[in-house]
């Protein structure tokens, strides 16, 4: 198995409301088959799919999906970008779980939950600078 993720699928109880949230954050949808809403990312895609259909596809009862201990993160170029992005998420319908603040290891971050409870960390990590296109790698990229 190659060390990468191609698609992240969020099971959605209310596809319209959840997609409106990501639309309000400024994300652009990409064409996709009926029943799936997709946003292309840098090297991956985030998909929204009805939660009941996801359980059916996997072959599990809906009650078995529950909520896992998982979070998604978006790293930003500058510390000063974290609080405004958290505010934008809150204005779009997110619940702020942790306001923007410095972290003991030298970074700056905060957390929000989208309207269905999916948790996002918004962070600036001075030890992992982003590529010009926003690409992220732990400990950054080598200069070329």
Cα–Cα distance between 82 and 68 in angstroms, integer? Answer: 25
Q: What is the pTM of this model?
A: 0.84
Q: CA 131 → CA 49, 108, 135, 141, distances in Å?
A: 30, 19, 5, 7
The per-residue b/e assignment along 57-90, b for 16 or more CB within 10 angstroms, e otherwise, is eeeeeeeeeeeeeeeeeebbeebebbeebbbebe
Token match 């930003």: residue? 76
pLDDT tens, residue by residue, 73-90: 999 999 999 999 999 999
- What parts of the chain have a pLDDT lower than 70? 67-69, 143-144
DSSP 8-state code for residue 130? P
Q: Are strands 71-75 and 119-124 parallel, antiparallel or unpaired?
A: parallel
pLDDT in tens, 48-72: 999 898 888 888 888 887 766 678 9
């Amino acid at each position: 198995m190659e060390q990468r993720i191609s698609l992240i699928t969020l099971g959605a109880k209310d596809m319209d409301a959840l997609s409106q949230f990501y639309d309000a954050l400024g994300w652009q949808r990409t064409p996709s088959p009926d029943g799936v809403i997709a946003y292309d990312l840098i090297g991956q895609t985030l998909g929204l799919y009805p939660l009941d259909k996801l359980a059916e596809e996997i072959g599990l009862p809906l009650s078995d999906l529950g909520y896992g201990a998982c979070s998604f993160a978006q790293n930003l170029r500058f510390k000063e970008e974290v609080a405004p992005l958290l505010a934008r998420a809150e204005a779009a319908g997110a619940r702020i779980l942790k306001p923007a603040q410095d972290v003991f290891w030298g970074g700056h971050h905060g957390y929000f939950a989208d309207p269905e409870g999916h948790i996002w960390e918004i962070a600036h990590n001075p030890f992992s600078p982003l590529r010009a296109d926003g690409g992220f790698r732990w400990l950054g990229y080598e200069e070329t």
